Amino acid sequence: MGRLFGTDGVRGVANADLTAEMALGLSVAAAHVLAEAGTFEGHRATAVVGRDPRASGEFLEAAVVAGLASAGVDVLRVGVLPTPAVAYLTGALGADLGVMLSASHNAMPDNGIKFFARGGHKLADELEDRIEGVYESHRHGEPWQRPTGSGVGRVRSYDEGFDQYVAHLIGVLPNRLDGLRIVLDEAHGAAARVSPEAFSRAGAEVITIGAEPDGLNINDGCGSTHLDQLKAAVVEHGADFGIAHDGDADRCLAVDHTGAEVDGDQILAVIALAMRERSVLREDTVVATVMSNLGFKLALEREGLQLVQTAVGDRYVLEEMKEHGYALGGEQSGHVIILDHATTGDGTLTGLMLAARVAETGRSLRELAAVMERLPQVLINVPDVDKSRVQTSAELAAAVTEAERELGSTGRVLLRPSGTEPLVRVMVEAADIDQARSVAGRLADAVKSALG
């Protein structure tokens, strides 16, 4: 059996891959593993449990709550809130564990379970592996030790979490948003109430779309993976700009007043300069992945800022930030981590910080985002090749060297084996789209020839 835990918790089709029995079993296993690790030492354990609005979240939440309480853990149910809100409340309430039920930007039939350690941080891989091991051994017949009487966990709703999280977001803003008209696309997801409330309290005039979750419409043609509705709404309402979240609101993408997309790289660049101005961008450094556009790197260099690049995935960005104490990092997809105020990517916080910069400077988002020029990027997937030989093929190395020589300092080549399929991704950036296409085509042919 493959590892249950992926890079972002356990995910799958709800009630097929991810069942109530699995949710209950994993929750009991998590309680036992954290107790053994000494997390609950000397006190009665508490967990914060939240979810996004998917219909399946209702029964999965019930299973998780039942599992934790049966293992002697008290549960605070915070209801429908973004993933970063559950992480924040886990830390703010001094809870021993946080659990979020969401499949983020995935389609409605999927769901997922994500555990947070004390402080609201992602669980270490080693603890996830132990939880999976304990879950598997008990699934195959080993009985649980169960508390009885007053030892069972108590469950209560914690409705104050909503206001507490919104107050936290407002509290960390450097300035108010008065005078801005902003369209928010909530993806019919977890931030449908939180985000409009936070932007309104901060002084913005808010127009919402995708803010009527019914359990079935999450991410359906809206949110950060489908920007067309937001682009149209921004232009129609004459708004200053628009913000789009995904289903669990850990991402943020934007649209300027003309309806043009502002991606995660551009958002990072704008926020980086704002943070440097306030002397809170530690080491004048931003962390991003190797998929960031070369235009982002060139823009930071021009502004005298450092870029540290990691493997693809916000977990690697976060690890690098924590290890070296950096304050800002993120991905092109709109996962932005502002570590002084959040332990994970927070789409609402990112959107608020972006809006604060527009309000503070009096410049349009289009003008601010122009600090970086996105270089044309061509991506070709080459299927049915031996991806394990990408690093060792001399023929391929020669083709890459030749491509890099042709592109010079204004272009970039990246060959990346897919993590899940037998294919190699060829990515080429160049100042000119025709040159990018031509070089990418030649490299794709070289990959087929060398690894086919």
Q: Give buried/exposed letters for 21-35 (b at 16+ CB in 10 A, else e).
A: ebbbbbbbbbbbbbb
Strand partners, 156: 76
Helix axes 161-171, 194-201, angle to 10 degrees: 40
> 104 a known binding residue?
yes
- Is 248 labelled as part of a ligand binding site? yes
Q: Is 333 a catalytic residue?
A: no
Q: How far is CA 304 from CA 253, 340, 359, in A?
A: 25, 22, 24
SS3 state of residue 29: helix
Of 365, 338, 330, 346, the residue nearest 182 (C-alpha)? 365
Long-range interactions of 138-141: CB distance < 8 A, separation 24+: 138/25, 138/28, 138/29, 139/25
Residues 97, 115: contact at Cβ < 8 Å?
Answer: yes
Catalytic-role residue among 27, 56, 102, 104:
104
Range 152-191 burial, b when 16+ CB lie within 10 A, else e? ebebeebeebbebbbebbbeebeebbeebbbbbbbbbbbb
DSSP 45-104: -EEEEEE-S-THHHHHHHHHHHHHHHTT-EEEEEEE--HHHHHHHHHHTT-SEEEEE--T
DSSP per residue over 231-300, as a string?
HHHHHHTT-SEEEE--TTS-B-EEEETTS-EE-HHHHHHHHHHHHHHTT-SGGGEEEEETTS-HHHHHHH
Interatomic CA distance for residues 104 and 290, integer angstroms: 22
- What span, in angstroms and rounded, lies between the C-alpha atoms of 98 and 432? 47
Distances (CA, A) of 157 to 24, 338, 387: 19, 29, 50
* Structural tokens at position 280: 């809170």
d(CA 423, CA 127): 31
Active site residues: 104
Binding residues for Mg(2+): 104, 246, 248, 250
